[in-house]
Structure 1
Amino acid sequence: MDNMANSCSSAQPTRLDQCLQAIGFMESVFNKKNGTPRQSAICPQSKGCIDLNKCLFNNPMHSLIGIQDFTHIWVLYYFHMNTNKRCPSKVRPPRLNGQSCGVFASRSPHRPNPIGLSLVKLEDVRDGKLYVSGIDLLDGTPILDIKPYIKQYDSPDCLPMPANIDRCLTSSETSSDSISGDLESLVVLNNDNEVTTQRVSNELQQFDNNSLPNDWIDGSVVSEVSVEFTEKSLKQLQNFHTRVEKNLCDYCLKYLKPIELRDAITNLLRADPRSVYRRNKCVDRLYYFTIDSIHITSWFDIETNVVEVIKVKPFMTKQLSNVD
């Protein structure tokens, strides 16, 4: 039976023949990687909409019937701005501040298949578009699929527990020594179908010696920073509005409301969007990013763990070359 399973596994193709197609594209408040949240829900004020591909269905609205009944949706998308030439097996997520982990234990965009997954809040559905908030996608991101978030299935807290869970948790068989012994007794069949337990034991030992911090899973390794605004930047924020006025069109917001601006910028900076390299190596602590129609200049003070918003102005395409 094991030989048969091994034979079937080796017969599986490593490349898929079916081609994926974009079902739509994201219209987002984020135009550049700088300042874009690494995860959805970090900035609830970040908004956008998914414009469905009108050529995919004869009537795109038919594909959305019933989706308005859900509060959140899963969005699968393609990392179209990736520039990496290779796919490493180990990566250094920013939240680990320089420490590495396996690529499949991370949310890194640099993966064998550059596919992202975000949980976003569904605000409205109209004219074949899905209006969403709490996004972490760049403008123009190709969307591969949309699925409704169903709490009963998607939240582990809502899943039924095994009937014998109490016995399992209190059993002496689940002690750390027993678990370690069970892991070390794992077997792997090599090409000659020989049992090789020693290699597994060595790999476990090596992993244990390079163990990650206890709090790396909940994302608390990189601490949040305090966000402050200069008086000048607060006055500059007041120039932005939601309607086009004569000679003020550069200050017109596309998605955000003026009342949301300060909170949106605060949420983005509080999570420290800088890369590990910029955080640890760059002498220049200025950090530029854009959201909606706004270009923000901030300053990170590493001694006080404070970031200060020092300048806010309209965002224009020609400014992209100055954004690191």
Structure 2
Amino acid sequence: MSPACDCCGEQVNKLNQQVSVMRKEIKNLRQMLDSAVRAHRKHMISIQSAVSKVALCEPAREQTPSPSPPSSQAALEKGNIQTVPIGYISSCFSVKNGTPRQPTICGPSRAELRIQQSVFNNPEHALVGLEHYSHVWIVFLFHKNGHLSYKAKVKPPRLNGQRVGVYSTRSPHRPNALGLTLAKLDKISDRPRFKFLRSPEEAAAAIRGVLSADPRSVYRRTRCRDRLFFFTLDTADITCWFGRGFAEVLQVRCYWIGK
């Protein structure tokens, strides 16, 4: 082999090593960015909670020394409870009209609980071991009541106009619009859902179709040295690397569809 070929081979090896190092650095930077975004999200939630507490407090009319903040135990004894929703439930019943009053009336109906990523960095970790149980208790909040007014006595539909106490009924209009239900656990899925694509196989075929058409602009194809390319498909962010005559998918990151 001639010295020129040896020199070219060494250059190719060096370039491959540099590309490998660049990919690792890009991966580390993205992990750091994701951690920073999660920390910022938690910080914003704590700030919003603090601002809401300040807004609820009326300013004192007289200049008096402020008492020390009550402890969490004292707040619980006074009934001041602050909750954070861990997720939202959606079912095949979109409105209250026609929704069965008892779950056994319509057995084939299904509902889905989506855990929010704002509560846990890895929501799937909080569900480890839950698949060993057949049923789960769910404490929920009627956040779409339509109005917040409530009465001590209500008229249930099947009592022919008779008034009874609100606590002896299933009325969602009550001082604390909380509910408790026993749900049968069908399955646990930690995969994000697509909004338009119907399966991961269909998503893979769509990615191959996009890359085969080379979606880069003329400038990026001919004059830009950066071979990385990013694009979004449905609920997935795709990172790919374009070489000479080929395209390599480096990362596919899907995000959850939340409310």
TM range (shorter): 0.3 to 0.5
Structure having the larger proportion of residues in helix: 2
| Greater Rg over alpha carbons, structure | 2
| TM-score, reference length from structure 1 | 0.34
1 or 2 for the larger relative contact order (CA 8 Å, sep ≥6)?
Answer: 1
